[in-house]
């Protein structure tokens, strides 16, 4: 089943690619080496509707469909995974707000996020609970008309730069996944602290943190959706989240492939470009085939997500995430091999794509989790 991009989707790709080549690629190495968060680039990207492009036009966003947002993510990561992650994740949690948030929440937070003036975070994972969302221990208790939240979250993207976070907490500790609630928490709320995690293998420009919530009080109105329904609300976005990570992986793989192809045409050995040697040509051919196969699978997942076909969306999103992330690591590895010794140093982007691609096999559900989900749909 083929998924042809429309003229509008192709226009989106061209626009993001031009932005990436003009604004991201020239500073990618600098941000990777310093780990500096690219706030100015985030604000600039927002001017072109590349930040949280899923936000409806009514709230200042571009209102892009799932396939278009997939293309945006892919192209941002093609330019540089670290900066691509920082820009692409600036609207984490907005899908939850759009679907389940009260009108005041949308009016207060969606416009500044779409404009690049604010960033959001989604606080789910905990030190002892990554893939097992139902096991989270962060708690929220009602006291005097407020909710008091206590706990620790970790591996939180945008943790130290976000202005607001969607925090998942247990409101009925004995009910497992049936007792989880989503809360809208401004990050300047007393008791909310973020500690940056800066010893990452890759995507250095993307902010990552551990959050400490010590008696964080929010009004009862800050419940997103319904009390004790947070897990089920979150499940609505697993497929779109995994499709997005597949797009990230494809972008990283495409970037690595592009770099290797260019190098193969320039680097000479024995009086000819190394791209003329069959061994290199075969590597590039296999890399390109894997990238295109992953892209087709991701676009199919995006189409099912957009159509609201939950069962198919779940299956194909996991397939796309599994295949694209595994192949991205393989492609980045082969790209480095094409560069040889030159690829092992920071003079070229090969080693950066190699490091950056690896995260896509881990977050939004590890490859092992995706295999379980796919098998569940088969048996």
Of 102, 268, 364, 368, catalytic:
364
Enumerate the H helices of the chain as residue ranges.
Answer: 7-19, 28-34, 39-47, 66-79, 81-88, 94-100, 103-114, 230-235, 238-266, 278-307, 310-339, 350-357, 367-378
Does the pLDDT of residue 329 top 80, yes or no? Answer: yes
Per-residue pLDDT tens over the stretch 209-229: 999 999 999 999 999 999 999
User: What's the pLDDT band for 3 if we cut at 50, 70, 90?
Assistant: low
Residue 4's pLDDT band, with cuts at 50, 70 and 90, is: confident
Q: Which CATH number fits domain 120-228: 3.30.1330.60, 2.40.110.10, 3.30.1280.10, 3.40.50.1010?
A: 2.40.110.10
In which band, very low, low, confident or very high, does the pLDDT at 130 lie, cut at 50, 70 and 90?
A: confident
Cβ neighbourhood burial of 143 (10 Å; 0-12, 13-18, 19+): exposed
Using one digit for the tens of pLDDT, what is the confidence trace for 157-210? 999 999 999 999 999 998 989 999 999 999 999 999 999 999 999 999 999 999
CATH code of the domain occupying 7-114:
1.10.540.10
Place of tokens 């300047």: 188
Domain with CATH 1.20.140.10 in the chain: 237-378
**364 in catalytic set:** yes
Task: Give the pLDDT mean for 250-262.
Answer: 98
- pLDDT exceeds cutoff 80 at 131: no
Within the chain, all domains assigned CATH 2.40.110.10 are found at 120-228
**116 Cα distance to chain centroid:** 17
Per-position b or e across 199-231, b if 16+ CB within 10 A of its CB: eeebbbbbbbbbbbbeebbbeeebbbbebbbbb
Segments of the chain assigned to CATH 1.10.540.10: 7-114
Contact between residue 81 and residue 202 where contact means Cβ atoms under 8 Å apart: yes
Average pLDDT over residues 139-167: 97
- CATH number belonging to domain 237-378: 1.20.140.10
Whether residue 110 contacts residue 59, with contact meaning beta carbons closer than 8 Å, is answered with yes
- Please give the pLDDT value at position 1: 52
* Cβ–Cβ < 8 Å for 266, 239: no
Phi and psi for 139 in degrees, rounded to 5? -115, 155
* 3-state SS, residue 31: helix
User: If pLDDT is split at 50, 70 and 90, which confidence band does 323 have?
Assistant: very high
- What average pLDDT does range 138-145 have in this prediction? 95
Backbone region of residue 219 per phi and psi (left: phi > 0; alpha: psi in -120 to 50; beta: other values): beta
pLDDT, mean over the chain = 96
């Amino acid at each position: 089943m083929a998924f042809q991009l429309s003229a509008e989707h192709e226009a989106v790709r061209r626009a993001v690619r031009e932005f990436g080549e003009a604004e991201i690629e020239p500073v990618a190495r600098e941000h990777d080496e310093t780990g500096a968060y690219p706030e100015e680039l985030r604000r600039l990207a927002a001017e072109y509707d590349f930040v949280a492009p899923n936000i409806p036009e009514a709230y200042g966003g571009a209102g892009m469909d799932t396939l278009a947002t997939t293309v945006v993510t892919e192209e941002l990561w093609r330019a540089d995974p670290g900066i691509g992650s920082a820009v692409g994740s600036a609207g984490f949690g907005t899908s939850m707000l759009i679907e389940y948030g009260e009108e005041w929440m949308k009016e207060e937070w969606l416009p500044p996020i779409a404009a690049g003036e604010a960033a959001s975070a989604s606080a789910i994972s905990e030190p002892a609970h990554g893939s097992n969302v139902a096991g989270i221990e962060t708690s929220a208790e009602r006291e005097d008309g407020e909710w008091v939240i206590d706990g620790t979250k970790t591996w939180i993207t945008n943790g130290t730069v976000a202005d607001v976070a969607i925090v998942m907490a247990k409101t009925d500790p004995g009910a497992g996944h049936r007792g989880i609630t989503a809360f809208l928490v401004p990050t300047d709320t007393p008791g909310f602290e973020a500690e940056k995690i800066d010893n990452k293998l890759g995507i250095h420009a993307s902010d990552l943190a551990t959050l400490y919530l010590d008696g964080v009080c929010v009004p009862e109105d800050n419940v997103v959706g319904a009390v004790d329904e947070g897990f089920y609300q979150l499940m609505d976005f697993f497929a779109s989240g995994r499709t997005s990570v597949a797009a990230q992986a494809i972008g990283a793989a495409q970037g690595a492939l592009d770099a290797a192809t260019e190098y193969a045409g320039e680097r000479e050995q024995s009086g000819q470009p190394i791209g003329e040697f069959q061994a290199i040509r075969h590597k590039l051919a296999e890399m390109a085939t894997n990238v295109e196969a992953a892209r087709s699978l991701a676009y199919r997942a995006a189409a099912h997500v957009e159509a609201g076909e939950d069962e198919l969306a779940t299956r194909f999103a996991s397939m796309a995430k599994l295949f694209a992330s595994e192949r991205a690591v393989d492609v980045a590895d082969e790209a480095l091999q094409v560069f040889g010794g030159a690829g092992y140093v920071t003079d070229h982007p090969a080693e950066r794509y190699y490091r950056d691609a690896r995260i896509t096999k881990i977050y939004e559900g590890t490859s092992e989790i995706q295999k379980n989900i796919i098998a569940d749909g088969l048996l």
